[in-house]
Amino acid sequence: MEKRKLGKSGIEASIVGLGCNNFGAMPVDASRRVVDKAIELGITLFDTADVYGNRGGSESQLGEILGSRRKDIVLATKFAMPMDEAGTKSGASAAYIREACEASLKRLKTDWIDLYQQHRPDPKTPIEETLRALDDLVKAGRVRAIGCSNMPAAELAAANETSRKQGLAAYVTAQDEYSLLVRGVEAALVPTLEREGMGLLPYFPLASGLLTGKYEQGKDIPAGTRYARMGRFGERYMTDENWRIVAGLTAFAKSKGHSLLELAFAWLVAHPLLTSVIAGATRPEQVEQNVKAATWKLSAADVAEVDRLTAKS
């Protein structure tokens, strides 16, 4: 599988990554089958977070499943989301970062984290304090590179300026929602990443399932699917405008001999800024679909047509 670098870090990762947000909520044997298939197909980037799997479950399962294979993959996790009901175990203060990192290392059964990501901004902590703590982890060999997630472009630019002025480790990747239906990052974040030489790690590449092709407008939502569980939250995606776009994209993909899901991946991979598409999976078959999808190489004309089809009024 094709690999790309995580920004300026020099760390290479597969262009399709495995999102491990379902681990911990799934039986360990089911998670193991997904991991085994991912490694078999050449996926090297495994993305989790301390909060996934009911606070710690995802990391614990991943640590148990990987075993000696840990050295063969790029392991990414996150901190900053609340890890207790009181909200005291959260944020990006220096003291909490040290605590959170050691807890993640223990659950993951590893001595180092390849990409340690700040899951969300912390307005209560000065960015220099956060970066100094992360820089200490890099210097100590506990973390190889750092990234951020859900951070506004202006805050990200300011953070990297602080890193330059103070000689500290800088964010090399940004993990944000990006798909054919959700393209808000293109306005400010993408230009910032390009200027900073950072990589983009898109999450929800299938718009939580709307780009899989399994849903049809006006028909009942299939039982057991993500949208069936999401309830009213699904209305964020299932708008009339999005249904119109999905219809056009489906027809375009079909004309090229591909599925809507394959188009969703191929379009993301066509962007050089993208490092790896973070896609969750609960079954090995889904991993196979995702890997196959990323092999379709869109032409410049294809990308232009898709951009036209996804333009919103």
Does the model's pTM come out above 0.85? yes
Report pLDDT digits (tens) over 5-25.
999 999 999 999 999 999 999
Token digits of residue 121: 């901004």
Is the Cα torsion angle 20, 26, 28, 29 positive or negative in sign?
Answer: negative
Domain boundaries in the chain? 3-209+266-297
Other beta carbons less than 10 A from residue 135's beta carbon? 18
- d(CA 272, CA 238) in angstroms, rounded, equals 29
CA–CA dist 64, 86 (Å, integer): 28
Active-site choice (52, 96, 116, 171)? 52
Q: For position 224, what pLDDT does the model report?
A: 57
Q: Which amino acid is present at 42?
A: G
Neighbours of 288 (CB within 10 A): 15
β-bridge partners, 289: none
Show Cβ contacts of residue 303 under 8 Å, excluding neighbours closer than 6 positions.
267, 270
Question: Collapsing DSSP states into helix, strand and coil, what is residue 235?
Answer: helix
Q: Cα(193)–Cα(198) distance, rounded to whole angstroms?
A: 5
The per-residue pLDDT for 198 is 97
| Consecutive H or E run containing 230 | helix 226-230
Q: What is the dihedral of CA 230, 280, 150, 236, to 10 degrees?
A: -30
Q: What's the pLDDT at 214?
A: 74
- Residues 153-174: pLDDT tens digits? 999 999 999 999 999 999 999 9
CA torsion, ordered 174, 175, 181, 182, to nearest 10 deg: -60
Instruction: Tell me what pLDDT residue 208 has.
Output: 81
Q: Residues of the chain whose pLDDT is less than 70?
A: 215-235
Active site residue 96: no
Label residue 292 exposed, middle or buried (CB < 10 Å: 0-12, 13-18, 19+).
Answer: middle
Q: Could you report the per-residue pLDDT of 40-49, keeping only the tens digit for each?
A: 999 999 999 9
CATH topology of domain 3-209+266-297: TIM Barrel (3.20.20)
Contacts of 238 (CB under 8 A, 6+ apart): 210, 215, 227
How many angstroms separate the CA atoms of 161 and 71, rounded?
A: 33
